[in-house]
Structure 1
Amino acid sequence: MAEPTIHTQETAPAASKPLLEKSVEAFGRVPNLHGVMATSPALLDAYQHLHALAVEHTAFTPEERTVVWMTVNVANECHYCVPAHTAIARTEDIDEAIISALRDETPLPSERLEALRRFALALRDTHGRPSAGAIADFRSAGFGERAMLDVIMIFAQKVMSNYTNAVFQTPVDAGFQKFDWAPPRMAAE
C-alpha cells in the first residue's frame, strides 16, 4: 500500500484546484477519493468527466447505472466505492432490495437488472471478451449495442477509482462509513 496524500482545495496542485471546486459543488466537500486523485490532475479530470458522462449521457436509468457501478465495485472488492455508491444509490431512491442484492452478491429482483449485472461480470471475468452467449443473454434482456458500450465506459471509470483505492487504501469518508462494506471472504476472517 502506498501512503496517500489527501489534498484539500488549498494543498492541491494548481491544475486540480478547479476540479476540487467541482467536487465541493457536487458533494458539499472534497471526498477523500478526489483528494487522493488530485495529485494527478489528469486522473481526477478524467474520472470526473467519465462520471458526468455516466450520469448524463448513457442509455441507463439511475437504477441500471447503479447496477453497473456496484457490480464493478463489488467485483473489484473496493472498500471505498461500495459504501460511496450505496450512499449515492440512496440519494437516487434506488430500491433497498437492489442495493442489498448488489452489496451481498445475491440475485437481483428483476431479470433485466440481473442480465445487466451478468454482462458487467462477464466483461470483467473475460478481460473484455464476453462469450457470444453472454452477449446474446444481454441482448435478450432488451439491451443493445449502445448499452454494451456504456457498460464499457462505466467500467473504465470504476477501474480508475477502484484501483486508486486499492493502491492507496483511501480512508472512507465519515458520511459513507455507515455503509461500510468488506468482501465476503474478508468479512468472514
Structure 2
Amino acid sequence: MSQLISRFPVPETIENLPDDLKGRILTVQEKAGFIPNVFLMLAHRPLEARAFFDYHDALMERESDTLTPSEKEMIVVATSARNQCLYCVVAHGAILRIYSKKPTIADQVAINHKTADISERERVMLDFAMYISQDVGELNSEWEEKLKAVGFTQEDIWDIGSITAFFGLSNRLVSLTNTPPNEEFYLMGRMPKDKA
C-alpha cells in the first residue's frame, strides 16, 4: 500500500511494542491474514491503544441480552457512514457481511438504513443510534418504549448507546489520522469463500 497509514508516527515493526499489544496484533493478523491499519495507527500511543482495544472488546465481544453480533456491526456501519468514516464503514461493513451472510447489507445500511432490507427491530435500533450519534442522545420514555416494543432490553439499550458513542470516538481518531481501510476489507463477505 502506497498510502500512509497515519499522519502520526506508526511503529516500523510490531516487535518494539509491549508484549500484550504485540500479541493482540499477531492474533488478529493470524485470524484475518493481515494487520488492520487501525491497529498500527493506534499503536502510536500504546497505553491509549490498550484502553481502546479493551473497551472495544468489552462492547463488541460480550454477549448482550438480545443484541446480535450482526446488529452491533450494523450500528457501527450506519453511524460511521453518518460520521463520514470510510475506514469504519469498509472494515465493519466487511464484518457485517460475514456475520449476516448478506453481501449487500452493509452498503444498504451505510447509504440509508431507512430503505435497507432490514427488520423493523433493526430500523428502530438504527434510528436510536442515529439519535445518539447526531442529536442530544438522551434516553427518554418515548425511546425506551419504542426500543422495548421491538424486543430490546434495558441492557441492550445501554449497549446500543455505548457502541454508538465508542465508534464516534473511533471515527474521529481515524479521521484525525487519515487512516485508510486495508484493501482486503473491500471484498470480504461479498462472495462465498470457495468463489473468492
TM-score normalised to structure 2 length: 0.78
Q: What are the Cα deviations for residues 83-108 of structure 1, in whole angstroms up to 9, with x where unaligned?
A: 10111122224424532321111423
Question: Which amino acid in 2 is paired with 1:128?
Answer: G
User: What residue in structure 2 maps to residue 21 of structure 1?
Assistant: 26
Across the aligned residues of Structure 1 and Structure 2, the Cα RMSD in angstroms comes to 2.4
* 2:85 equivalent to 1:55: no
- Partner in structure 2 of residue 34 of structure 1: 39
1:71 to 66, 73, 78: 78
Over 3 Å counting, the alpha-carbon distance change for 1:149 and 1:79 in structure 2 is same
Aligned to 1:87: 94
- Contact 1:68–1:117, Cα closer than 8 Å, also in 2: yes
- Displacement of 1:121 after TM fit? 0.9
**Aligned pairs, how many?**
178
Percent identical residues? 24
SS of the aligned residue for 2:129 comes to helix
Which amino acid counterpart does residue 92 of structure 1 have in structure 2?
Answer: Y
| 1:141/1:113 CA distance change after superposition, 3 Å | same
Q: 1:69, 1:155 within 8 Å by CA — same for their partners in 2?
A: yes
What's 2:49 paired with? 44
Structure 1: give runs of 5+ residues left out of the alignment. 180-189
Q: Which residue of 2 aligns with 1:6?
A: 10
Inter-partner Cα distance in structure 2 for 1:178 and 1:49: 27
Deviates further, 92-101 or 102-111: 92-101
Structure 2 residue runs of 5 or longer lacking an equivalent are 1-5, 189-196
